[in-house]
Amino acid sequence: MKNKFLIIFIFFNLILNTVLGAENLNNIASTNYGVYEADNLKQLYGQNTQEKISIASITKLMTAVVAIENINDFNEYVTVDYSLISNNLDPELAVAGIYDGQTLTYYDLLATMLIPSGADSAIYLSEIIFNDSTEFINQMNKKAHELQMNNTNFSNVTGLDDENNYSTIEDVAKLLKYVLENNTLKEIISLKEYTTTDGKLTVSSTISRSAQRYGIDINYILGGKTGTTGDAGICLASYFNDESVELITVVTGADMYSTEPFNIIDTESLDEYISDTYSMQNIISTGEEILRLNTLNCKQDSVTFYSDTNITKYLDKLDKSKINIEYNGVEILTSNIQEGEKIGEISIYYDNELLKTSDIILNEKLDFSLTKWISNNRYPILITIASILVLSILFYIKFKKKSKNLKSKIKTKNSKK
């Protein structure tokens, strides 16, 4: 009885969580948002994901990508020439606080750009790496093209509002996916606080600062990059993990003058909804039959092949009709095939997405069956036997006729004598 009550409680709790999650989504303040699987960028939930929008300081993710791919040594020291910064620093931009004459490593500059969203560090990196900020921006656009961010263009390195500095939720997800594949950048955007190597400057994450200020528990946001401008509103590109699946969430467009940090609130609501709705589900289970092949002239009628591992997919609901198993190889098995021999390949799809391709190996010895061979070839054998009999009869008749003629000739010859 207790177990029944427990099951009922869990069932209604799941329903309640789903309903509450849906209500939270009805209160999303961001105008553009999307949640994606990081490995394949499959969209799980979203709104206005392909609309061209301002992305504010999320731009600095691309600034970091171009910088890090053109830095030979992260530990190399540079001395800050603040005149290179001040000549290009808009008063509306947030700064990390680096100063003229300060000696910093390239890693320090990357960290002070991404963690507190320091425009001063972003501008300085763009000035010193190619000695030409215009070329730096050209490289940002070249990289965007390489990443197939087809609805993106950059005109500055800080994310300052400009009609020529734009992207989409979908393109930002592509950019963040690329950032997360770089261990150094992923480490930096996941830090809550950082102190420069000279010990003179400590910066804190814009995400953690906002969360602490408003008393928000960040359960899902592991790291990311915020942004705030009049055109972009308050934004956040972040990542989180659910059941070992890495997910990307991008939100933009909430009013920058809001009394609450809706970029963080909306991200938490979206992430919670996905976590409650999706789970890892078995497409194919270990030991499940995946292929059966018939034999010819063997003691075994058929050979069955089984999955040697669980094949899973992150889904809101499993639809068995979307599972497709394709086999390419030997269709009929014979005793000529040796145990341990590869006979083909099998591909497992879910909703037209390839999940796994495996070799199919014959896992048992096939024994020749004379009885089945005779049964399978009975008509040719009967025809052969019949043919032999007919030929034998014809030969016998011909032989008898020839023998009779020979006897007749001998008799005629003897009578003449």
Contacts of 24 (CB under 8 A, 6+ apart): 269, 272, 273
Q: Are 358 and 329 in contact (CB under 8 A)?
A: no
295 is written with which tokens?
A: 């034999």
- As averages over each run of 10 residues, the pLDDT of the chain (417 residues) reads 44 45 77 97 97 98 98 96 93 94 98 98 97 96 98 98 97 98 98 97 97 94 97 98 96 94 97 96 96 96 96 95 97 96 97 95 95 81 69 73 68 60
Q: Are 225 and 58 in contact (CB under 8 A)?
A: yes
Q: What is the DSSP string of 346-397?
A: EEEEETTEEEEEEEEE--SPPPB-HHHHHHHTHHHHHHHHHHHHHHHHHHHH
pLDDT digits 0-9 by tens, 82-116:
999 998 899 889 999 999 999 999 999 999 999 99
Cα–Cα distance measured from residue 268 to residue 33, given in angstroms and rounded to the nearest whole number: 12
pLDDT at 416: 56
pLDDT at 417: 55
pLDDT at 1: 46
Q: Are 162 and 156 in contact (CB under 8 A)?
A: yes
pLDDT at 160: 96
Cα–Cα distance measured from residue 291 to residue 188, given in angstroms and rounded to the nearest whole number: 47
Cα–Cα distance measured from residue 63 to residue 139, given in angstroms and rounded to the nearest whole number: 9
- Say what the pTM is: 0.82
In Å, how far are 38, 93, 160, 220, 397 from 271, measured between CA atoms?
Answer: 13, 29, 28, 7, 94
94 is written with which tokens?
A: 């947030």
pLDDT digits 0-9 by tens, 344-391:
999 999 999 999 999 999 999 999 999 999 887 876 656 777 677 777
Number of helices followed by number of strands (H, E) in the chain: 12, 17
Of 231, 233, 270, 230, nearest to 250 by C-alpha is 270
- CB atoms closer than 10 angstroms to residue 136: 24
In Å, how far are 35, 62, 126, 312, 315 from 42, measured between CA atoms?
Answer: 8, 21, 33, 15, 11
Rounded to 5 degrees, φ, ψ at 231 are: -75, -40
Q: Are 336 and 296 in contact (CB under 8 A)?
A: no
pLDDT at 105: 98
pLDDT at 26: 84
269 is written with which tokens?
A: 């609501």
- CB atoms closer than 10 angstroms to residue 311: 18
Cα–Cα distance measured from residue 337 to residue 332, given in angstroms and rounded to the nearest whole number: 10
pLDDT at 407: 65
Q: Are 252 and 55 in contact (CB under 8 A)?
A: yes
Cα–Cα distance measured from residue 117 to residue 119, given in angstroms and rounded to the nearest whole number: 6
